[in-house]
Amino acid sequence: MNNENKSNIHDFDFNLICEYFSLTERQGPGSREMTLKALNIIGAPGPNATIADLGCGTGSSALIIAETTKAQVIAVDIFDTFLQKVQQRAQTKGLNIHTLHASMDKLPFAPRSLDTIWCEGAIYNIGIESGLKIWSPLLKDEGHIAFTDATWLTEERPEEIENFWQEAYPQMGTIESNLKIIEEAGYRTIEWFVLPQECWTENFYEPQRAAQEVFLSRHRGNPTAEMLVENQRHEAEMYARYGQHYGYVFYIARKR
């Protein structure tokens, strides 16, 4: 039997996820202002600097970095559809961005070759601790990391939201626990800040509403597609109800 043209269920799911998120400009909470704020904290990189944006998605941060700095930007993701989108968007804006298909835990960069590692809304894929340890040797001495991650902001949380995140991201830390991980992984934190709520609402969940209509009309009657949209709607609803208990925190640190 020839199975070559058959995609297994995982490919199918990934394709759907990829298609869904290709319909939006960003794939995680954030904003132009917050990316620029983090860039300013690090300071202007020179023309010989290399910045890798790991888990770049369709390029929400890579495009801003390429537009506002002289650095060479390398946008890294495991989905070619996203990387193609980055290239399209870069071309439209007349920007030069390199794209690289690679997993953030198996990066082909030479030791001490990167000035900065950027990672908005993607480090959770491998966990902060292992991400920071794997990336440290790739950074030049005193190189920087700048990443965002979902973080608990309150000590006491309603059970419903505890359970939701326990299922979705059980390793989610507090600011305190994340700062400790950063120090122990060989970095010194320069600054951290909590992203404002509109980074989730206006910039992440609201654009998904229009995307959901397009996506559902394309995949009417497909239970996997419907489930995906249902999950995203549920996540947005959780944020509307319990968003004061967690948020994205931008962590900016220097390799020691």
Which residue lies nearer to ligand SAH by CB, 127 or 186?
Answer: 127
Which of residues 49, 64, 97, 104 is near ligand SAH by CB under 6 A?
Answer: 104
> In this structure, what is the dihedral angle of CA atoms 193, 195, 197, 202, given to the nearest 10 degrees?
160
Shorter beta-carbon distance to ligand SAH: residue 25 or 162: 25
Residue 57 engages ligand SAH in binding (rule: CB under 6 A): yes
Is there binding between residue 60 and ligand SAH (CB under 6 A)? Answer: yes
Give bridge partners of residue 76 from the DSSP assignment: 54, 100
Q: What would the two tokens of residue 246 be?
A: 């967690």
Strand partners, 72: 50
Q: Does 26 bind ligand SAH (CB under 6 A)?
A: yes
Tell me whether residue 79 or residue 192 sits nearer to ligand SAH (CB atom).
79
Burial of 139 (0-12, 13-18, 19+ CB in 10 A): buried
Strand, helix or coil for residue 192: strand
- The full DSSP string for 4-60 is TTPPPHHHHHHHHHHHHHHTSS-SSS--HHHHHHHHHHH----TT-EEEEET-TTTH
> Pick from 16, 52, 56, 225: which binds ligand SAH (CB under 6 A)?
56
Q: Which stretch binds ligand SAH (CB under 6 A): 56-64, 87-95, 185-193, 239-247?
A: 56-64
107 vs 253 by CB, closer to ligand SAH: 107
CB 86 within 8 A of CB 75: yes
Packing angle, helices 128-135 and 175-184, rounded to 10: 30
Rule CB under 6 A: is residue 120 a binding residue for ligand SAH?
yes
CB-based contacts of 155, cutoff 8 Å, min separation 6: none
User: Is the CB of 54 or the CB of 145 nearer to ligand SAH?
Assistant: 54
Report the residue from 55, 143, 173, 247 that binds ligand SAH according to the rule CB under 6 A: 55
* Binding of ligand SAH by 238 (CB under 6 A): no
103 is a contact residue toward ligand SAH (CB under 6 A): yes
Determine which residue in the list 16, 20, 22, 30 makes contact with ligand SAH, applying CB under 6 A.
Answer: 30
Q: Which of 39, 51, 122, 161 binds ligand SAH (CB under 6 A)?
A: 122
Helix, strand and coil content of the chain, in percent to the nearest 5, comes to 50, 20, 30
Question: Phi, psi (5° rounding) for residue 179?
Answer: -65, -35
Stretch that binds ligand SAH, among 64-72, 97-105, 188-196, 214-222 (CB under 6 A): 97-105
For ligand SAH, the closer of residues 115 and 149 by Cβ is 149
| Binding-site ranges for ligand SAH (CB under 6 A) | 26-28, 30, 54-57, 60-61, 76-79, 82, 103-105, 120-122, 125
